[in-house]
Amino acid sequence: MFEHISHIFSRISILHLNILFLLGLALFGGTIGGRIFEKLKIPQVVGYIAIGILIGDSGFKFVSYHIVSVLEPLSYFALGLIGFMIGGELKKDILTKYGRQFIYILLSEGIAAFLIVTLLVGIIGTLILGDWRLAWSLGLLLGAISSATAPAATTEVLREYKTRGPLTRTVLGIVAMDDALALLLFSVAFSIAGSLNGNMHINTVGIFIHPLYEIGVSAIIGIISGAALSKLLKKYSEKERVLVFCIGTVLLVSGLALALKADMLLAVMVLGCIVVNSSPQKSKEAFKLLSGFTPPIYVLFFVLVGAKLNISYMSLPIILLIVLYLIGRSAGKMFGAIFGAKVSGAKEVVRKYLPLCLFSQAGVAIGLSVVASNAFPGEIANSIVIIITSTVFFLELIGPPFVKLAMTKAAEVGLNITEEDFIQKIKVKDIMDKNPPLIKDNFSLDKILSIFSQTANLYYPVVGPDNRLSGIVSVDNIKNILAEKELAGLILAADLKDPAVAKISDKAMLSDAQEIMERHHLEYLPVVTEENRISGFIDKRMLERIITTKVIELQKQAEAI
C-alpha cells in the first residue's frame, strides 16, 4: 500500500518537473525563435508558433497533447489578458466616431465569409463526399466558424510594431466584435445542419437563445467587474497593487465566464472597455503595467498553439475541404471588408489594406468546432475538428506577416511610440544642446551674469582654455555669492564651480544618459569627447520637453493619416 502511494507521488512529481522544464524550454525556445524570425523581417509570433510545432506532436514530441491540455488554463489566462488589452483600445470617443463604420465592415466581412465557405463546401463537398446532407451540414458549420477572426496574433503584431492610425483602430474594433457575430451565425447554421441530419434531439429554440445568453452574460460580467476595478484604480495608486488588481480581475472574469458557459473573450473585452472609459487617466498606468507583464505569457501561449498541431490525421478529401475552406474564407473576408469599408465611407488606407489583416483565426473557431463535433458525432465531428484545427495553424502562420505588410504599406508602423520607446532608440548626440553657453574658468562674475541673462539654463559647463570640462556652475551658486556683495567683485568662475559629478559620450544612448541622471539625482549632464572636451549639454527640463513634443508629433502624424 505504502509503495503504491509512493509510486503515485513519484509520478506526479515527475509530471510537475516535466511541465516546469517544458515551460522553460517553451519560453527560451519561443523567444529564440521569435528573435530569428524578427531578423528575417517576419513577425515574432510566427517564430513562437514554429517553435511550438517543432517541440509538439508534429515535431520532436517533447510537448504531448496531454501536457498541452494540462496547461490549458495558461492559454485562457493569455487570451484573457489579450482581450482586456483590446477592450482598453475601445475608447468612448472612438466608438462614437467610428462605431457605425466598424459595424458595416464587421457585417460585410463576416457574412461574406459565411456565405462563400458554405456554398463552396456545400457544392464541391457534395461531389467529393458523395453525400449532399453531410456536405451542406459541413458547409453551414464551417461557414459560420469562418466568420470569426482571432485577436491574439493580430494584436501581438500591432504591439510588436507599435502601430497607430485608422487601419490599426479599425482592426482592433473589428476583432473586438467578431465573436458576437460568429456566435449568432453559428446558432443559425447549427439549427439548419441539425435539421438536415435529422438530429431531432437538438433544441432549435435553445440553439438560438444560447448565443444571446453568452453575449448577455459576458456583457454583464464585464460591466460589473469593470465598474469595480475602476473604483479600485481610483482608490489605489501603488504600481504593485494596481498590477495585482488588474491581473486578479482578469482571472476572476475569465474564470466566471467559463463557469457560466459565457464568452470569456467578450467578457474581458467589455471589462477593458469599461475600465478605460470610466477611468481614462488611471487606466493608462494600469494598461502600461500590464503591457510589461504580458510578453512571457504571450510567448508561452503561441508556443502551445503550435504544439497542438498534428498533421497525421489528414486524408485526401479532408485536404481538399481544407483548401476550399481557406479559399472561401479568405475571399469572403477580403471582398467583404472592401465592400464594408467602401459603403461606410472608411478612409482609403482602410479600404486598401484592411483585407490583409483579417486572416488569423484561433480560439473561438476551435471552440465552435468542438461544440459542433459534440452535437454531430461521426464523420461530421471528425471532419470539422481536423479541418478547423489544421486551418487555424495555417492561418496563424500566414496572418501575422500579412498584418505587418498591411501596417507597413499604411505607414502606421512605429507611430504608437511612447516616451520610453523614444528614449531607447535615440542617441545622446541627436537630442543634446550642441552649442551650450560655456563659462571659462577665468570669467568674472559680471560676465557670468551677462551669460545668465541671455539664456534660460539653470546649469552651465565650466571649461579651461582648451574647452576641457572642469566643473559646473548653477544659478544657485550665483544666488549664494550675490548674498556676499563685498566679495562679488573678486569672484571668478573657477571659484564658483562645482565638480562635474558625471558625464557621458555623445555616442551613448539617451536611455544611458537618463539612467545616469537618475542614479546621481542630477538635473543636467555634460556631453564630452574622449579628450574630455565639451561637445554638448543635456538639461533635464529641456530634455523632457523635447521628448514630450516629439511623441505628440508622432501621435498627431498617426491621427492625420
Cell triple for 381: 465531428
User: For 376-424, what is each residue's pLDDT tens digit?
Assistant: 666 666 677 678 777 877 887 788 888 888 888 888 887 776 666 666 6
Q: What is the pLDDT of residue 15?
A: 45
How far is the C-alpha of 117 from the C-alpha of 146, rounded, in Å?
7
29 vs 369, which has greater pLDDT?
29
Site of grid cell 500591432: 158
Q: What is the DSSP string of 451-490?
A: HHHH---SEEEEE-TT-BEEEEEEHHHHHHHHTSHHHHTT
Other Cβ atoms within 10 Å of 60 Cβ, number: 10
Spell out the CATH class of 54-416: mainly alpha
Strand partners, 459: 474
CB 336 within 8 A of CB 108: yes
Cell triple for 451: 551669460
Q: 3-class SS at 462?
A: strand
Confidence at 483, pLDDT banded by 50, 70, 90? low
How far is the C-alpha of 99 from the C-alpha of 81, rounded, in Å?
23
Cell triple for 66: 496531454
Other Cβ atoms within 10 Å of 64 Cβ, number: 14
Taking the complete model, does pTM exceed 0.75, yes or no?
no
The distance of Cα 105 from the centroid of its chain, to the nearest Å, equals 22
Q: What is the pLDDT of residue 527?
A: 83
How far is the C-alpha of 561 from the C-alpha of 550, rounded, in Å?
17
Host H or E run for residue 474: strand 469-474
Q: What is the pLDDT of residue 488?
A: 52
* Domain chopping of the chain, boundaries: 54-416, 423-560
Q: Output the CA–CA distances (angstroms, integers) from residue 133 to 86, 113, 191, 510, in the order listed.
A: 39, 21, 14, 67
**Nearest C-alpha neighbor of 85 from the set 325, 295, 256:** 295
How far is the C-alpha of 186 from the C-alpha of 179, rounded, in Å?
10
Q: What is the pLDDT of residue 208?
A: 59
User: For 360-370, what is each residue's pLDDT tens digit?
Assistant: 876 667 667 76
Site of grid cell 459541413: 138
Mean pLDDT within 198-202: 51
Confirm or reject CATH 3.30.420.250 for domain 423-560, answering yes or no.
no
- Give the burial class of 385: count Cβ atoms within 10 A of its Cβ; 0-12 exposed, 13-18 middle, 19 or more buried: middle
**Nearest C-alpha neighbor of 391 from the set 146, 129, 140:** 146
401 vs 4, which has greater pLDDT?
401
- Give the burial class of 11: count Cβ atoms within 10 A of its Cβ; 0-12 exposed, 13-18 middle, 19 or more buried: exposed
How far is the C-alpha of 352 from the C-alpha of 478, rounded, in Å?
62
Cell triple for 481: 555669492
Q: What is the pLDDT of residue 252?
A: 93
User: For 203-233, what is each residue's pLDDT tens digit?
Assistant: 555 555 766 777 788 889 999 999 999 888 8
How far is the C-alpha of 178 from the C-alpha of 119, rounded, in Å?
21
Task: Give residue 354's identity as a one-letter amino acid code.
Answer: L
User: For 437-461, what is each residue's pLDDT tens digit?
Assistant: 887 878 777 787 777 777 777 788 8
How far is the C-alpha of 151 from the C-alpha of 366, rounded, in Å?
14
